[in-house]
Amino acid sequence: MGEKVDLQFVTELLSTYDFEKTDFVYEAGQYSIRGGIVDIFSYSHDYPYRIELFGDEIESVRTFDPNTQLSVENKKTFSIIPNVQTKLLQEKRESLLEFLPDDTYIWVKDVELTLEIIERYFDKATLSFEQILKETGGSKLITSPAQLFENPEEFKKLLESYKILEFGTRYYFDTDNLIEFSSKAQPPFNKEFNLLAENLKSYQEKDYTNVIAAESYHQIERLTTIFNEVDRFLKFQTMNAALRQGFIDDQLKLVCYTDHQIFEKYHRYKTKEKFSKSKAMTLKELRTLHPGDFVVHSDYGVGRFAGLEKVEVGGRQQEAIRLVYRDDDLLYVSIHALHKISKYAGKEGTPPPISKLGSGDWDTKKETC
């Protein structure tokens, strides 16, 4: 009660979950709309709900007898459950691992932690299942949480049917084959190129291969020039690649250095507050938008909100958000991708520059944020 709803959205939502629109409801799975009165017969209750609206606000909720149309009980909240049982009888939950070929090798780190996480969420699902049983008076749409969620025992059993390669520092399964990799992190040099040159030379004398990786050819040229000036007899290979960090592998006799560790320039990605993902729009906030309001799409940039419009997707009508960009280009965003949109929060009274679709300007702006 007191919550605001959009009748068109409610109609679309019920249709999506296969509720049938009728003049009067008399069995589960039906709904009717007559002016500001919405009747919905949920699969989770013996009686249908009657929701009375004042404008777009829920003024009252009650259950009623469909035969006499008389009220049974007043409610403050209500839950609508579709007929998921039919689907469950037709479909079977399949584990992600079941989609892998039988001869797949699975590399896994910390099996025990993985099983603990699965168990924690399975227990959470079990508690939710018990809570739903209480709220629906013991009406079971599914026989157990295992019908919908993976449990640790089944996951472990399925995992053991594949060839497993564990890596890391903690091991769960017993094995006769143990492969040890003797490697360590690249030491810090604090921009001391003479110290780095001595390090390179010491490994060179032990027949190690020295590799310096850099993200750009400009950095490779710069490092080559520096080492030629420090010690022109040094030998090393260069690699144009953005590695996270360097390493020393004593088995392969390979030493790898990275340019950002040498120069102590670590990438720190920052996002400006007005484009923050934490400000992703909710359905409730969407209903407060007015045509012409500025919004930000995480993939396409700043545009103007132009209302909601029904579009056909896969043969079905679906509500979409209409955004207008530079040169009056239109973008339709599915209501399911609402998390990609946020309300523009720039300087008060200063309109932002509208993005141009397909120009790449927005991608450039995000990289500099």
- Domain ranges (residues) in the chain: 7-82, 93-167, 183-262, 273-368
User: How far is Cα 110 from Cα 130, in angstroms, rounded to an integer?
Assistant: 31
Q: Is the pLDDT of residue 118 over 70?
A: yes
φ/ψ (deg, to 5) at 113: -65, -40
Q: Is the pLDDT of residue 39 over 90?
A: yes
Q: Is the pLDDT of residue 89 over 70?
A: no
| The pLDDT of residue 348 | 61
| The pLDDT of residue 35 | 82
| The pLDDT of residue 318 | 78
Q: Which residues contact 260 (CB under 8 A, 6 or more apart)?
A: 215, 266, 267
pLDDT band at 271 (very low <50, low <70, confident <90, very high): very low
- pLDDT tens digits for 55-88? 889 999 999 988 888 889 999 888 888 876 665 5
The SS3 call for residue 172 is coil
- pLDDT tens digits for 287-345? 888 888 899 998 889 999 998 888 877 677 778 899 999 888 889 888 778 888 888 87
Q: Any idea what DSSP says for residue 3?
A: -
**Range 212-227 average pLDDT:** 84
Q: Is the pLDDT of residue 181 over 50?
A: yes
Mean pLDDT estimate for the chain: 82
Instruction: State the Cα angle at 206 between 200 and 207, rounded to 5°.
Output: 90
Q: Contact, 187 vs 223, CB < 8 A?
A: no
Q: What amino acid occupies position 163?
A: K
| The pLDDT of residue 285 | 81
pLDDT band at 272 (very low <50, low <70, confident <90, very high): very low
Q: What percent of the chain has pLDDT over 70?
A: 89
Q: Strand locations in the chain, DSSP E? A: 20-21, 30-34, 37-40, 49-54, 57-64, 71-75, 105-109, 163-167, 183-185, 209-214, 237-240, 247-249, 254-258, 294-297, 301-313, 316-324, 330-334, 341-343
Whole-model pTM: value is 0.40
Q: Contact, 75 vs 2, CB < 8 A?
A: no
Sequence-ordered alpha helix ranges (H) in the chain: 7-16, 84-90, 111-135, 152-159, 193-205, 217-230, 259-262, 283-286, 361-368
- pLDDT tens digits for 283-292? 778 888 888 8
Closest by CA position to 210, among listed 243, 194, 186: 186
The SS3 call for residue 118 is helix
| The pLDDT of residue 324 | 92
pLDDT band at 239 (very low <50, low <70, confident <90, very high): confident
| The pLDDT of residue 51 | 92
- Structure-token pair, residue 269: 């990605």
Q: Is the pLDDT of residue 171 over 60?
A: yes
The SS3 call for residue 354 is coil
| The pLDDT of residue 66 | 84
Lowest model confidence (mean pLDDT) among 85-89, 142-146, 173-177, 246-250: 85-89
User: How far is Cα 79 from Cα 48, in angstroms, rounded to an integer?
Assistant: 11
- Structure-token pair, residue 142: 């599914």
pLDDT band at 267 (very low <50, low <70, confident <90, very high): very low
348 or 354, which is more confident: 354
CATH number for the domain running over 273-368: 2.40.10.170
pLDDT band at 180 (very low <50, low <70, confident <90, very high): confident
pLDDT band at 275 (very low <50, low <70, confident <90, very high): very low
Chain centroid to CA 298: 13
Q: In the β-sheet with 316-324, what is the strand arrangement from edge to edge?
A: 330-334, 316-324, 301-313, 294-297, 341-343
| The pLDDT of residue 273 | 40
Instruction: Tell me the pairing of strands 37-40 and 71-75.
Output: unpaired
Report CA torsion sign: 159, 161, 165, 168: positive
Q: Is 7-82 a CATH 3.40.50.12780 domain?
A: no
| The pLDDT of residue 63 | 92
pLDDT band at 209 (very low <50, low <70, confident <90, very high): very high
| The pLDDT of residue 67 | 81
Chain centroid to CA 342: 16
| The pLDDT of residue 274 | 43
User: How far is Cα 23 from Cα 32, in angstroms, rounded to an integer?
Assistant: 6
**CA atoms within a 13 Å half-sphere pointing along the CA-CB vector of 303:** 26
Instruction: Tell me the pairing of strands 163-167 and 105-109.
Output: parallel
Q: Is the pLDDT of residue 270 over 70?
A: no
| The pLDDT of residue 94 | 81
CB 324: neighbour CB atoms within 10 A? 17
